[in-house]
Structure 1
Amino acid sequence: MAVQRSESLRSLLSSVTVFLLLSLCVFAEARVKGFGKFSEGQDPECTTGGVCEELWFTQKLDHFNGADSRQWKQRFFVNEAFSRPEGPVFLMIGGEGPANAAWMQDGTWLKYAEKLGALCFMLEHRFYGKSRPTSDLSTGNLRFLSSRQALADLAHFLSVTAETRGLGDRHWVAFGGSYPGSLAAWSRLKYPHLIHGSVATSAPVHATVNFPEYLEVVRRSLASENADCPKIVEEASNTLVKLLKDPETYDNITKDFNLCSKLQIQTEMDSAYFLETLAGNFMDVVQYNEDNRGFEGVTGTNITIKVLCEAMSDSSLGDPYQRYAAVARFMMEAFSVKCLDVSFNSYLKEMTNASWEGPAAGGGRQWVYQTCTEFGFYQSTDSPDQPFSGFPLKYHVQQCADFFNVSADQLAEAVAETNEYYGGYDIRSSRIVLPNGSIDPWHALGVTQDISPELPAVFIEGTAHCANMYPARSEDLPQLPLARDYIFLFLQKWLNQ
């Protein structure tokens, strides 16, 4: 029976060509980002009129300096298929990667739009995708990248568009998932005269430098499938940590994990980067477990918690360490990755390349900058209640210094200022609905209980990151369509106010 499970896993993984390829190549980048959206999906073939047409809006470079008159072009999309003269206007907020036109053709928000007669826009976030305000991604230019500037972009876009399209008397509703979910909540908080309401899905509204709770949820989510799974993962991870202390083991480790070059552990950063890369096989699968992301162009969505835990429980693959290595090799084989590059120096070179053509320009360099200057969100192993080892907070903080010359004190101060500015968990606003999934590790920084009747939480058991935003399907857990309907009831109510 164990051999059958192993062959089943190999067959499943062999059918997958691309799934979080970025996470295998520069996985620390993807996991610091956490949201893991950029560079995952390919824009699908547009089958619905002109909704995938790229449009451009003239935007200010610096909204908070009246003496700075520089401008740039921001990409946006529009879907007018459901628009009725008295209907609302929906605004989907872009995040830490290219805006994907799939969202202009499908998704729960469009079902709401059809029922409510909404005109729909999607606005790409500054510094991501094709929305490039500056000539490069140098640290000096990245000072114009922040959630506050992004919210001001939304406000300016809304104000000008409402005037030019004659939408001044229509209610605007903001939508977003993950970091854009936070922006959706904060847009209502900071611009209540412009944003009538918002749906802030999987939104980490509380900033924190150290976020070991992420891995604590990973443990619980693995255990929900198999109580022994996180224990086996922990044993494997601990074994690897011990082996890394002995250079005599490096040849075997290089072979076991199919590394691109012989393992070299010269600093704590080298060790942490390697360990974090391997842990990432589990972290991203948990985060997006059974989410319907296929419509975005993402493949490999059938690799689930169940698949990984079956592999880690399969004694035919060897002891826990050998199973851990087998999972890494299976993933590489499935994703057509010839070998695993775990060199922190390579990652450092990629992340400090400030060109728009650089390997981290798809979103990695930009998002890590935002974590170093606003949010933190570092998914460290600084908790006994999680299954991994070897990438503590100091490893993440050191990257801020290495990439952007941001010190630990500056980082801590920036995160404190973010919570002061937005309120963290203690949001004081109205007409914001906050959905989260219990499997999703990001719910630990979100709102999972009602703050007030006007700030309701929707906590969806058994679902992962942004699950309620994706198109419905027959295999959805029954609580998922119920959650979508519940959110719709709030929209109906608020749009009549």
Structure 2
Amino acid sequence: MRASTCLPALLLAACQTTIALNNAYARSFNILAELGLNPDGSPFERPSFDGPAFNAEDASSADFTIASVAEGSAPAPAENISAEYVSLPIDHFDPSKKLGTFNNRYWASSSSYKPGGPVFIYDVGEANASSNALFRIQNSTSFFKQIVDQYNGIGIVWEHRFYGNSTPGGPVNIDTPAESFRYLNTEQSLADVAAFASQFSLKNRGINYTLTPEKTPWVFVGGSYPGMRAAFMREKYPSTIYASYASSAPVQASVDQSFYFEPVWRGMQQYGFGNCSRDIQAATRYIDGVFDDQDSAAADELKIMFLGKGAEKNSHATFADALTTIFATWQSYGMEGGNTGLRKLCDWIETGTNTSSVQVHNQKNMPKAVQRWASYPYFATNVNTYLETNCSGKADVVGDCDLDRKFTDPAMISWTWQYCTQWGYFQSANLGPRQLVSKYNSLVHQKDICHRQFPDAPRDIFPEWPAVDKTNRKFGGWDIRPSNTYWSNGEFDPWRTLSPASAEPFAPKVVVSQDLPKCGAEQKDLFGYVIPNAQHCYDFRTTGVTVPGGAVSRGYFTGALSSWLECWKPNGQSGYPGKPWKA
């Protein structure tokens, strides 16, 4: 979701990131990882367990740009697919307002279809779907295309309202007034899917069989926020969605998600980087101590040391938030991710000899980890990319290093509205023995980001704090157990912390079982699988950054789906051609 405040949308469907990052990058990272590419587009090479030493020569040119997803995902198309649009009500629940309609974008593939095959809908979620759509329904490595082909189905990629070209009132930008987002919420977006399904047809392609849910089973597939929507659609609209695949779905709304970083700590231990996690912790606590001392000169020097001249103008909170960008690639790559990933930073901290040239007056007491982290040549450039700023990274060069800017990416603006009003997910400091984040990155700071983005929003639609209790009452939170639904999570996925399979001490102790539930049967146990040594939505990948458990997870879903589809019957048997995937 992926991510929180600031990140968690080029592509959170492939799933989300964190912190004050642009959510667009979270989506990009997941797709690029699936294609076997690092965030900068360079080929991913699976390292040995110990990992390669940091190449200092590579650091001499610390250029970092996010690769275009389109560059790596161009398929050899079996059919010519263009975006299509369906007209939907702006408000599904009060027609008396007569607010009119908007056009919602989607893509549909029918190359594998045989009459009677299911309709599969892949939900992109909080992102512009255009960079994701054709990969999902045309590329042979896409797991979604594979299951559509397996069941002789129709494949649909769906764009969420207020993202991409599915925006009532015109494109979203930094000047879009808050009132325009009044009808951006999860309830309205779920109703969009139900309304679309009730009128879906491909007769223009010569498919005369009825494809609406009365005559054809619909299967909803999503990861992260779309994984939540997969579960909610089956729960709220069971006559529309017959089965759902909910991957990495944090269905429990929570203002506080400081525990986002707990699986990161545990994963770093598991992957052999315990020393690095402790060094990051020591550096973070040292920085907190400097800020606690209220010595403005020392604090300014520290900020300049990391981000260059001009960084000292930022508050302690915004600087602390910028430090968390080192974890931006965790959910997509784990320790990997090339020059933007944790492995390279850890190699630099653990084995490098370079330290910052900035002279801090109490540098003798400064942990080496602080100096090495500050001197990491990709840190400032990564911060610039994620936070849309221009810090110089050099003590003698003044940069435009404003870390407190509004988001300008349209998808991030819309997602900020959603988490600030309904879901929370504030990824603040995880204080305690596994602390990785500065205490100055507080819940109050995360709330301030919401009101920074929408300072004039009316209180009746934009509460001071996210209305998470209301959200959980409406959607069920951890307790949701729709039938015909498969759940998956990565062992070290930060978003697992708010899923029904959460391993955190405050979460319900739910039994995760691979025992196949009967058709339509609700149960207390969770039908799903926790993928070992995996992060976010790893079972949506067939190539690239993968783990063996990803295929295992997909197998549980398709095995269940085959069983559940045996029970499905259309309303009225007249003309039903049977189940073509069994022929």
* TM-score, L = length of structure 1: 0.82
Is the CA contact (8 Å cut-off) linking 2:430 and 2:437 kept in structure 1?
Answer: no
Find 1:289's aligned residue among 303, 312, 333. Answer: 333
1:396-432 deviations in Å (ceiling 9; x for gaps) = 1223334335779945572111111111110132011
Q: Corresponding residue for 1:339?
A: 391
Q: Corresponding residue for 2:278?
A: 231
Is the CA contact (8 Å cut-off) linking 1:18 and 1:335 kept in structure 2?
Answer: no
Counterparts of 1:110-129 in structure 2 under 5 Å?
Answer: 110-129=145-164
Find 1:241's aligned residue among 283, 288, 292. Answer: 288
Measure the CA separation in 2 of the matches of 1:308 and 1:397. Answer: 29
Residues 209 and 334 of structure 1: CA distance in aligned 2, closer, same or farther (over 3 Å): closer
Find out whether 1:496 has 2:566 as its counterpart. yes
Is the CA contact (8 Å cut-off) linking 1:97 and 1:129 kept in structure 2?
Answer: yes
Measure the CA separation in 1 of the matches of 2:165 and 2:381. Answer: 32
Measure the CA separation in 1 of the matches of 2:230 and 2:302. Answer: 45
> Greater RCO between the two (CA within 8 Å, min separation 6)?
1
Residues 16 and 288 of structure 1: CA distance in aligned 2, closer, same or farther (over 3 Å): farther
**DSSP 3-state at the match of 2:190:** helix
Number of aligned pairs? Answer: 450
**DSSP 3-state at the match of 1:456:** strand
Amino acid in the other structure paired with 1:118: G
Find out whether 1:432 has 2:485 as its counterpart. yes
Q: In terms of mean alpha carbon deviation, does 406-415 or 126-135 score higher?
A: 406-415
Measure the CA separation in 2 of the matches of 1:125 and 1:78. Answer: 15
Cα RMSD after superposing both structures: 3.0
Q: Corresponding residue for 1:89?
A: 119
Is the CA contact (8 Å cut-off) linking 1:291 and 1:470 kept in structure 2?
Answer: no
Find 1:64's aligned residue among 86, 93, 100. Answer: 93
Residues 10 and 145 of structure 1: CA distance in aligned 2, closer, same or farther (over 3 Å): farther
Q: Corresponding residue for 1:147?
A: 186
Amino acid in the other structure paired with 1:75: R
* TM-score, L = length of structure 2: 0.71
Gaps of 5+ in 1: 21-39, 293-299, 352-358
Q: Corresponding residue for 2:138?
A: 105
Measure the CA separation in 2 of the matches of 1:444 and 1:13. Answer: 38
Counterparts of 1:87-486 in structure 2 under 5 Å?
Answer: 87-99=117-129, 100-101=132-133, 102-106=135-139, 107-135=142-170, 137-161=176-200, 166-168=210-212, 169-225=215-271, 226-244=273-291, 245-249=294-298, 252-259=301-308, 261-265=310-314, 270-282=315-327, 284-289=328-333, 303-318=340-355, 319-327=368-376, 329-332=377-380, 339=391, 342-345=401-404, 347=405, 350-351=406-407, 359-361=408-410, 363-384=411-432, 385-389=434-438, 390-404=440-454, 405=457, 410=463, 414-448=467-501, 449-450=511-512, 453=517, 455-472=526-543, 476-486=546-556
Residues 273 and 50 of structure 1: CA distance in aligned 2, closer, same or farther (over 3 Å): farther
Is the CA contact (8 Å cut-off) linking 2:324 and 2:437 kept in structure 1?
Answer: yes
Measure the CA separation in 2 of the matches of 1:381 and 1:437. Answer: 22
* Post-superposition offset of 1:200: 0.8
Gaps of 5+ in 2: 1-50, 356-367, 393-399, 502-510, 568-583
Is the CA contact (8 Å cut-off) linking 1:376 and 1:411 kept in structure 2?
Answer: no
**DSSP 3-state at the match of 2:249:** coil
Amino acid in the other structure paired with 1:459: V
Amino acid in the other structure paired with 1:8: N
**DSSP 3-state at the match of 1:472:** coil
* Post-superposition offset of 1:305: 3.9
Percentage of identical aligned residues: 26
1:17-58 deviations in Å (ceiling 9; x for gaps) = 4249xxxxxxxxxxxxxxxxxxx7447435314455211111
Measure the CA separation in 1 of the matches of 2:235 and 2:384. Answer: 45
Q: Corresponding residue for 1:47?
A: 76
Residues 228 and 178 of structure 1: CA distance in aligned 2, closer, same or farther (over 3 Å): same
Residues 187 and 233 of structure 1: CA distance in aligned 2, closer, same or farther (over 3 Å): same
* Post-superposition offset of 1:147: 0.6
Measure the CA separation in 1 of the matches of 2:335 and 2:218. Answer: 28
Higher gyration radius (CA): 2
1:443-465 deviations in Å (ceiling 9; x for gaps) = 11112243783551210011111
